[in-house]
Structure 1
């Protein structure tokens, strides 16, 4: 699958499933159970928060943490430098992930808001305090882990660049999530599923109030901008980059220009830059109060520029890719040119 620096290129990286980071696997298992329970809840429980099912948010968080947890558990099973630091940071992510998503589930069961909830309820006050520290723990652990993974090459070049760029995108996604509460906005008073009016310190929509029409499942606003989109795209940039690296390795067996490892690595870098530009574009679009699927001419022009520049860069990489040498069959006679008279 992937190779380790200093080993033969055909030797797979030693990331056996039994060696995957166990605390993260425990987190993944709990998230999978929550995902199933939330799916049942969306069918059996008709309560809503701002027009969305109360169990919709726990379901989305559970799915997200399953995907991210599996990615990290695999990476931490590779032969890393500073393995103890990496193990502890993975454990911190697992613990804070369980804590934070658990709070989301508890608040959903209570029929109230998990994020930005300013209720005077003593239980909610404690919940919000723990939730805030949990988010800080997630950010700190991801920053340290990104530092460990970015500055070493533990696999082949394409996958190494996928990990580096992917972890950088994760940090960017977390940072964009923090943009939601710090952005200047008026305090809102909304009704929870129990009919109680709750003050919210922030909202993710731009140009419209939270609770309007949204996309199926994600709930992203279709009436205004929504900062959750860029938060989501950044957080899952790691998985996108790993898929790009895997796809290039698969295509390399069929496309001769992709057989060189440096070419694959360069294409991963091109994809990462293009993905980063897309992340910046959707953030800019949301901050202008524009729905994702209702872009104006300016947004479409910027998107066309990003696509064209990424395609041109990819084409340039392929054009400069060294062609593999042709092998002469053993039984073939070498072609001899006549000697000059």
Structure 2
């Protein structure tokens, strides 16, 4: 499907965010300021790239719809406007040299954070509406269907995990701080973190499951592509039943990993310093995932027929 038919407001937003990401990358070179331990423009880069991925994904998906298309179009437009507001505020606060999230230090900062928080809720609600519309627009292939639907569902869960960062911490309440809310659990924001991402290496960080969850909408469909390409060499993945079962297994594993990452962060534990409990949970997931994959392949013996979609076939919805 030509990109000209993709959702135009979201594609315009994606183009603007791509330009902003390039600009912000350049700004990190010439602007030596730091904020919460990172180059001050790093946050703009991360958010702009995330919005590019979100916008292109949904612009493509909405273009496939034959049912509820008008509702999905408006939901996408509302989401584009909300994301535009959010990134505008982030840039304004970077220029002003202060944080955009959880900032109640002045009346202006409070208004900007409240506005941004409202825009985030609006974007999430609009995405829910578009996701409901998606359920009424199946693709011709069951594995692709499962990947898109489960990926979008998990991305909504991942986005919702961001709301866990909004309540003030106990330390903030006790001190009467004008910063209310935090990414980090167990420590104040701004401590040692991973390069570029900034995820805490000393405490729990809710940005980890938030990020991993949001991008399930891209990773599960990519898995389908890999399975379809592998069918040229691996006979098991030539079956639509096998590919569908593997996608559902991957979604279950993804859900379990997301739960463990959230549990780990809420316990104040860095993602790069797992304790015995976290490693045990990860081990259980690995064993269960391996057993499930083996069971899928064994349960669906091949008869030599290929049911992999043609390489020329696009993800068109049934009409």
Normalised by the length of structure 2, the TM-score is 0.91
Q: For 1:18-49, what per-residue CA distance to the aligned partner results, in whole angstroms no more than 9, with x for missing partners?
A: 21111110010011011011101111111111
Inter-partner Cα distance in structure 1 for 2:305 and 2:34: 65
Inter-partner Cα distance in structure 1 for 2:65 and 2:211: 29
* Structure number, greater radius of gyration: 1
Match for 1:273 among 248, 252, 258? 252
Inter-partner Cα distance in structure 2 for 1:215 and 1:270: 30
Change beyond 3 A, Cα 1:287–1:269: same
- SS across alignment from 2:178: strand
Q: For 1:266-285, what per-residue CA distance to the aligned partner results, in whole angstroms no more than 9, with x for missing partners?
A: 11110001001000001111
Inter-partner Cα distance in structure 1 for 2:302 and 2:174: 64
Question: Is the contact between residue 277 and residue 306 of structure 1 (CA under 8 Å) also seen in structure 2?
Answer: yes
Which residue of 1 is the match for residue 317 of structure 2? none
Question: Is the contact between residue 80 and residue 154 of structure 1 (CA under 8 Å) also seen in structure 2?
Answer: no
Inter-partner Cα distance in structure 1 for 2:97 and 2:300: 57
Match for 2:138 among 142, 153, 165? 153
Inter-partner Cα distance in structure 1 for 2:305 and 2:28: 59
Answer yes or no: is 1:214 the counterpart of 2:193.
Answer: yes
- SS across alignment from 1:77: helix
Richer in helix (by share): 2
Shift of 1:147: 1.1
Question: Is the contact between residue 249 and residue 289 of structure 2 (CA under 8 Å) also seen in structure 1?
Answer: yes
Answer yes or no: is 1:311 the counterpart of 2:290.
Answer: yes
Alignment of 1:93-242 (within 5 A): 93-122=79-108, 124-182=109-167, 184-187=169-172, 199-242=178-221
Q: For 1:232-279, what per-residue CA distance to the aligned partner results, in whole angstroms no more than 9, with x for missing partners?
A: 011111111111111111111221111111211111110001001000
Inter-partner Cα distance in structure 2 for 1:103 and 1:155: 41
Match for 2:13 among 27, 36, 49? 27
Q: For 1:47-78, what per-residue CA distance to the aligned partner results, in whole angstroms no more than 9, with x for missing partners?
A: 11122111011110011111111111111111
Normalised by the length of structure 1, the TM-score is 0.85
Which residue of 1 is the match for residue 27 of structure 2? 41
Answer yes or no: is 1:293 the counterpart of 2:269.
Answer: no
Question: Is the contact between residue 79 and residue 154 of structure 1 (CA under 8 Å) also seen in structure 2?
Answer: no
Question: Is the contact between residue 266 and residue 317 of structure 1 (CA under 8 Å) also seen in structure 2?
Answer: yes
Which residue of 2 is the match for residue 194 of structure 1? none
Answer yes or no: is 1:283 the counterpart of 2:262.
Answer: yes
- Number of residue equivalences: 305
Inter-partner Cα distance in structure 1 for 2:99 and 2:30: 19
Question: Is the contact between residue 204 and residue 271 of structure 2 (CA under 8 Å) also seen in structure 1?
Answer: yes
Answer yes or no: is 1:249 the counterpart of 2:228.
Answer: yes
Task: Specify every segment of 5 or more residues in structure 1 that has no aligned partner in the other structure, as ranges.
Answer: 1-14, 191-197, 328-341
Inter-partner Cα distance in structure 1 for 2:149 and 2:295: 22
Which residue of 2 is the match for residue 10 of structure 1? none
Stretch of structure 1 that moved more, 253-262 or 54-63: 253-262
Task: Specify every segment of 5 or more residues in structure 2 that has no aligned partner in the other structure, as ranges.
Answer: 307-319
Shift of 1:321: 1.7
Question: Is the contact between residue 168 and residue 180 of structure 2 (CA under 8 Å) also seen in structure 1?
Answer: no
- SS across alignment from 2:192: coil
Answer yes or no: is 1:62 the counterpart of 2:48.
Answer: yes
Which residue of 2 is the match for residue 336 of structure 1? none
Inter-partner Cα distance in structure 1 for 2:275 and 2:115: 41
Inter-partner Cα distance in structure 2 for 1:323 and 1:95: 49
Shift of 1:149: 1.2
Stretch of structure 1 that moved more, 39-48 or 148-157: 148-157
Change beyond 3 A, Cα 1:326–1:213: closer
